[in-house]
Amino acid sequence: MPSCTFALKILPLVTGRFGSRASCPALAAVRALSCTAARCQLHNVKGTGALTGKVDRFGGVTVNLAEIGLPADISEKSFSTLLQDSLLQWKADGKVAVWLRVPISLSRCAAAASTHGFTFHHAKHDHAVLALWLGEGESRLPGFATHQIGVAGAVVDESNGKVLVVQDKNKTKNAWKFPGGLSDPGENIGATAVREVYEETGVRSEFRSLLSIRQQHNHPGAFGMSDMYIICRLSPVTYDINFCTQECLRCEWLDLTELAKTNETTPITTRIARLLLHGLERGFQHVDLTMEELPAVYSGMFYQLYHRQLPPTLKP
């Protein structure tokens, strides 16, 4: 019988037989065997006796417990021992932070990590991420994302000065607003506006520019976090309305002059209606923040930059 299994099997018998744990010589031997038991699970971990992870350019280490070959039944004590040895190695190597990605199936490892100073950073779907600052002074680790991004599309028909608006269903006030919703992870702002407009109204459109950004903190609809609400200008590709009756009470092409004056709307919608009227009268180059995609400093990646158009003489 393996020593680790033997220790676990005889422990209840020894404790019950001798009564007092503190004075039992046989129990001391059992404890030694239980320590062996805690370490015998670690022999199945890939590589050396320390956890392996990816080192980032800031001097931190990220360890994904789902990918390093931990035994599925590893105990909290065994993982604590392994983590302690790893922390000693990381500190000796001058690492400044450790990130632990812990799947739900190994949640007991999070409890073990907490005894070494780790705290929760965030959780998503099937895993949690814990963090520990090893550098000097107070922690300089960034906080998790704390905002939600809402995007609306103001679809303007420049031929007649009308804009597509909806009234949300199940609202205490049936105010006219631009169709929109939350941006999905990895989705560009313009794509969100086009998608949400089509899902709510049945009208297909194309992205033209960014018009405004509203920032609001402690938002009740964002679990008390901060909310960014972005309104884009879109041009219609189709005009027939087939709105979603589950989300919208009404949907119409409304004259911008009427939308700018009516009391059946919100302050932000009124302000954007006036901005769009100004664009129709003076030219949208005076109100648009156009988008240009540029290469990021990270190899192979790109970002979207929004700003007023530059004169041709200042363009690269």
pLDDT tens profile 30-45: 444 444 444 444 444 4
Q: What is the DSSP letter of 228?
A: E
d(CA 100, CA 110): 9
Q: Any idea which architecture 147-293 has in CATH?
A: Alpha-Beta Complex (3.90)
Contacts of residue 163, defined as CB under 8 A and 6 or more positions apart, other chains included, come to: 154, 155, 156, 157, 178, 253, 254, 256, 259, 273, 276
Contact partners, residue 95, CB within 8 Å, separation at least 6: 55, 59, 60, 61, 134
Number of neighbouring beta carbons within 10 Å of residue 119: 12
Q: What are phi and psi of 186, to 5 degrees?
A: 80, 5
Q: Which helix (H) or strand (E) holds 165?
A: strand 162-168
The reply to whether 47-139 and 147-293 are identical in fold is no
CATH architecture of 47-139: 3-Layer(aba) Sandwich (3.40)
pTM for this model (two decimals): 0.71
Q: CA 144, CA 33: separation in Å to the nearest integer?
A: 42
Q: How far apart are CA 251 and CA 237, in angstroms?
A: 17
Q: What is the pLDDT along the chain (316 residues), one digit of tens a residue?
A: 444 433 333 333 333 333 443 444 444 444 444 444 444 444 444 444 689 999 988 899 999 999 999 999 999 999 999 999 999 999 999 999 999 999 999 999 999 999 999 999 999 889 999 999 999 999 999 888 788 999 999 999 999 999 999 999 877 678 999 999 999 989 999 999 999 999 999 999 999 999 999 999 998 878 788 999 999 999 999 999 999 998 899 999 999 999 999 999 989 999 999 999 999 999 999 999 999 999 999 889 999 999 998 887 776 6
The ranges assigned to domains in the chain are 1-44, 47-139, 147-293
Q: Is 199 a catalytic residue?
A: yes
Residues 82-100 as b/e (b if ≥16 CB within 10 A, e otherwise) read bbebbbeebeeeebbbbbb
Q: Report the sign of the C-alpha dihedral through residues 154, 159, 161, 166, in that order.
A: negative
Alpha-carbon distance 47 to 233, whole Å?
A: 55
Q: Could you say which of 76, 199, 258, 264 is catalytic? A: 199
Q: For 303, how many CA atoms within 13 A lie in the half-sphere containing its CB?
A: 6
Sequence-distant (≥ 6) Cβ neighbours of residue 72 within 8 angstroms: 105
Q: For helices 76-92 and 107-114, what crossing angle results, to 10°?
A: 50
